[in-house]
Amino acid sequence: MAYDRRSVKMCVCHKKKFAQIKEICDKEGLKTLDDIIHSDVAAKGCGMCHPYIEKMLITGETCFIPGDVYINSEK
Ligand code: FES
């Protein structure tokens, strides 16, 4: 699947790409969304990135189709 500029790639509130967040998680041993929030890495604003970050933690993906996390969670 090709991703374009409409893809979800970052926590907008923290201006941090999921790839950067994943790198920090790998380096600092952050394993859950709560770990990320409590360490002030990202996800502490509006919460719109939460399902994407949770999927990133499970799959390692850092670029998503908007809404894909919700569509796939119902399968
Ligand atoms: S987009 Fe991540 S907290 Fe708002």
Contacts of 41 (CB under 8 A, 6+ apart): 14, 16, 21, 24, 25, 28, 30
For ligand 1, say whether the CB of 8 is within 6 Å of any of its atoms. no
Q: What are phi and psi of 8, to 5 degrees?
A: -90, 115
For ligand 1, say whether the CB of 19 is within 6 Å of any of its atoms. no
What is the predicted pLDDT for the residue at 65? 92
Q: Domain residue spans in the chain?
A: 10-73
Atom of ligand 1 nearest to the CA of 53: 2
Q: How far, in Å, CA of 43 to CA of 14, rounded?
A: 7
The pTM assigned to this predicted structure is: 0.88
> Measured in angstroms, how far is the CA atom of residue 52 from the centroid of ligand 1?
10
Q: Would you place residue 74 in the very low, low, confident or very high pLDDT band (cuts 50, 70, 90)?
A: low
Per residue in 35-48, pLDDT tens?
999 999 999 999 99
Per residue in 24-70, pLDDT tens?
999 999 999 999 999 999 999 999 999 999 999 999 999 999 988 87
Residues 23, 42: contact at Cβ < 8 Å? no
What is the predicted pLDDT for the residue at 18? 98
